[in-house]
Amino acid sequence: MDVPDGLTIDKANEVRKAVTLARSRFDHRDRYYLFLSPSHRVAKQRFRQDGLLLPFGARRSEHCEPNPTFFQSLDSWSMPDCVDPLCGWSLHEVDKTPIGLATSDIYGKPFYYVRSMLEKFMDRMSKSTIAFQLLQVHAATLPNHLDESFDRIDVSNISDSGYLGAHRTVAIVALLLRAPPTNPHATLITWFMNLIDENFTLQDQITEWTLGSLSTKRLANYLLPTRPNRGIIDPALMKFAHARHHLREYDDIFGRCADKLQLARMPD
């Protein structure tokens, strides 16, 4: 891929920052930063400004060429402002990455972690026989394009109702798994990314906000108010409300959905 003609580094930064630092999203950024430590706020803001996954103290001057995989035109940035290079990685593993004294460098750690992962991947590639086949087709048509069968198939979140749905995904993709006589442990892996949000009812919300709910009891151990609230946009109240989602258990909702979809009746 080539950098679009006429796209300078200054123009590329201007196009990107029009999204990542959009004035219309000022309140969104402030609410997001509310939940971060001061050092992490500084690092997050810098990433929005320069878009570089680097240790905080690393030189930026050498990065002077627009990335053609991000810029396909002169005037558009194809990603939303909330995109974060930390997403998709194990935060526990990233946090364990040794980077010296700068233990709060929230992007320095993933820089070294991802670089190490890529080095290991390249090393393994050089010692293995691996083939990649890329198909730009609808997932529902894959059996028409593949003759092989597989031991493991990861279908991401196409099992969500907004895509193929659980039953259609299994009906289509299971055809590509190895037959039980060949591999009785051939497995289809999926991810219900939106299942909880789509099935979290008003009654679930009301129950969750009661004093006796599990999340309320857990929150009381960490975020007890130290002063009267100053309104519905009080930072302390916003922290309390947003933290609740991280302390709730969702097994009951998933179980309800599993029963509705009759997942237990799907073939092994």
Kindly state the helix (H) or strand (E) to which residue 124 belongs, with its residue range. Answer: helix 108-127
Task: Indicate if the pLDDT at residue 211 is higher than 90.
Answer: no
> What's the pLDDT tens digit per position in 20-40?
999 999 999 998 999 899 999
Phi, psi of 154 (to 5 degrees): -105, 120
Q: Which residues contact 86 (CB under 8 A, 6 or more apart)?
A: 94, 106, 107, 110
Sign of the alpha-carbon torsion through 115, 116, 117, 118 = positive
Q: What ranges make up the beta strands (E) of the chain?
A: 152-154, 187-189
Confidence (pLDDT) at 248 = 87
CA torsion sign for 56, 59, 61, 65 is negative
152-203 pLDDT, tens digit each: 999 999 999 999 999 999 999 999 999 999 999 999 999 999 999 999 999 9
pTM exceeds cut of 0.85? no
Task: Delimit the domains of the chain by residue range.
Answer: 9-127, 139-194, 197-257
Would you tell me how many other CB atoms lie within 10 Å of the CB of residue 199? Answer: 16
Helix pair angle (26-33, 38-50), 10° resolution: 140
